[in-house]
Structure formats: structure tokens, C-alpha cells
């Protein structure tokens, strides 16, 4: 789908077990506002889509929003940042939270999110603790 000559995409990164309806709603709203397609990357133990994503994917199909879906066994913050920065059509990255991505957080000064060339949207539920 072309919007003003350029395809724009919202990258939604979902971690199995961290699928919050608010995360999905935020990503969908952002796609509508930006007139963008959606690319979904799921970190899951298998290639099967997590059951909590099924209704969301069905609603994407119903609305006709173009999307791609890829399950990955692992995905680090740096992988997401590098991927988004290497693809200029990525208009925003949507995640549940900046916390809990990978255990290697010894060096707090090297936050990969700081190097992201597009906006980062976090959509954690309000009752979750923010560290």
C-alpha cells in the first residue's frame, strides 16, 4: 500500500507471554494515524502464533490492514533497533515495555533504544511496575 508515494510501516515487537490488549490497540491506532502497514515480530518458542494474538490477527484481516507476521526464537533490543534503523520505511516501533528484554543489562549506559532512528512507543498496562 502506498501512502504519499512511500510505504510506511509500524513495527510491533511482541514477546510471548507479554501480549497485552493495550499493546495491540496502540499499534493498530498508530497504523491508522500514520496510514501505515504493520509488521509484527513475535518472540516465541515455536513458529505457532501465540493464542492471545489470534483475535487481533483476525481483526487485522477484517479491517484489511496489510501486515506481515514473523515468529523468532529470540530478539534482542539491539536487533530491533538495528532492523528498524536499516529499514527507512519503519515509521515507529511499538513494544510493551522497555524493561525485561534481555538479561545482559550490566552496562546500563548502553541503552540500544537511544539509538533508534524512529519513535519508540511503549504500551505497558498501567498496573505493571515500571523500573
Residue 38 sits in a domain of what CATH number? 3.40.50.620
Bridge partners of 67?
38
Q: Which residues of the chain have pLDDT under 70?
A: 1-5, 103-109, 125-131
Q: Could you tell me whether strands 37-43 and 90-95 are parallel, antiparallel, or unpaired per DSSP bridges?
A: unpaired
Identify whether 129 is part of a domain: no
Closest C-alpha among 87, 86, 91 to residue 12: 91
pLDDT at 119: 95
CA angle 57–59–18, rounded 5-degree value:
45
Residue 58 counted as domain residue: yes
Structural domain includes residue 113 = yes
pLDDT at 109: 61
Q: What is the pLDDT of residue 52?
A: 83
pLDDT score at 84: 96
Q: Provide the grid cell at 102.
A: 534481555
Total domains in the fold of the chain: 1
Grid cell of 45 as nine digits: 518458542
Nearest to 123 by CA among 43, 26, 41, 19: 26
Q: What's the Cα-to-Cα distance from 88 to each of 11, 13, 17, 84, 128, rounded to whole Å?
A: 12, 17, 29, 7, 32
What residue numbers bound the domain in which 94 lies?
9-101+108-122
Q: What is the DSSP letter of 116?
A: -
Structural domain includes residue 46:
yes
Q: Is residue 4 part of a domain?
A: no
Q: With 0-12 CB in 10 A as exposed, 13-18 as middle and 19+ as buried, what is 98? A: middle
Q: pTM for this one?
A: 0.84
Report d(CA 37, CA 107) in Å as an integer.
Answer: 35
Is residue 2 one of the residues assigned to a domain?
no
Three-class secondary structure of residue 32 per DSSP: helix
Q: Confirm whether 130 is domain-assigned.
A: no
In a domain, 57, yes or no: yes
Amino acid at each position: 500500500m502506498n501512502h504519499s508515494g512511500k510505504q510506511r510501516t509500524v513495527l510491533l515487537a511482541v514477546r510471548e507471554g507479554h501480549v497485552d490488549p493495550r499493546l495491540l490497540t496502540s499499534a493498530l491506532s498508530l497504523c491508522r494515524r500514520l496510514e501505515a502497514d504493520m509488521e509484527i515480530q513475535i518472540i516465541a518458542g515455536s513458529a505457532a502464533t501465540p493464542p492471545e494474538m489470534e483475535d487481533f490477527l483476525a481483526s487485522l484481516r477484517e479491517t484489511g490492514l496489510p501486515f506481515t507476521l514473523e515468529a523468532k526464537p529470540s530478539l534482542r533490543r539491539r536487533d530491533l533497533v538495528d532492523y528498524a534503523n536499516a529499514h527507512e520505511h519503519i515509521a515507529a516501533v511499538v513494544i510493551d515495555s522497555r524493561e525485561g528484554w534481555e538479561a545482559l543489562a550490566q552496562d546500563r549506559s548502553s541503552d540500544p533504544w537511544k539509538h533508534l532512528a524512529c519513535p519508540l512507543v511503549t504500551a505497558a498496562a498501567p498496573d505493571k511496575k515500571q523500573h
